[in-house]
């Protein structure tokens, strides 16, 4: 099943074999799409990495991280094209400078958001 932004997210299989035994011999639930290389997650686990919400958040953040990098690169390339083609047009040079500053500022804000999430989530978000 594809979730938000086309990210493969786990969903519980609704078949007769929906239950399974985990690696440490606990009763688990089977997910159709492997998450972090696993198909079976413990039912009564207290570990953060086995929580479905945690798995959704990490999947979404991985996609958003890639999109933020692509958007920043695209903004810088577009600003460079505007700057090179500006010739003596001062307004186009100013527009290119503004696009470049906003692209880098957006990337820095995203990095700070990521750092804050790493600090707030016990054990880090992508540990």
pLDDT score recorded for residue 10: 47
Q: Provide the strand spans (E) within the chain.
A: 19-21, 27-35, 38-42
Instruction: Give the residue extent of every domain in the chain.
Output: 1-47, 51-127
Distance CA 29, CA 10 (A): 11
pLDDT score recorded for residue 35: 65
Given a cut of 50, whether residue 15 has pLDDT beyond it is no
Across 31-35, 76-80, 101-105, least confident range:
31-35
User: Mean pLDDT: which of 20-29, 39-48, 58-67 is highest?
Assistant: 58-67
Please state whether the predicted TM-score (pTM) of the whole model is above 0.85: no
Given a cut of 50, whether residue 95 has pLDDT beyond it is yes
Closest C-alpha to 63, from 1, 4, 122, 125: 4
Beta bridge partners of 53: none
Angle between helices 52-84 and 90-120 (to 10 degrees): 160
């Amino acid at each position: 099943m594809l979730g938000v932004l086309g990210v493969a997210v786990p969903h519980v299989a609704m078949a007769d074999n929906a239950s399974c035994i985990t690696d440490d011999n606990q009763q688990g639930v089977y997910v159709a799409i492997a998450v972090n290389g696993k198909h079976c997650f413990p039912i009564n686990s207290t570990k953060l990495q086995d929580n479905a919400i945690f798995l959704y958040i990490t999947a979404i953040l991985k996609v958003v991280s890639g999109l933020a990098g692509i958007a920043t690169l695209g903004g810088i390339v577009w600003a460079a094209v505007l700057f090179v083609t500006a010739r003596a047009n001062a307004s186009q040079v100013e527009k290119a400078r503004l696009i470049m500053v906003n692209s880098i500022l957006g990337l820095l804000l995203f990095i700070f958001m990521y750092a804050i999430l790493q600090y707030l989530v016990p054990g880090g978000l992508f540990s």
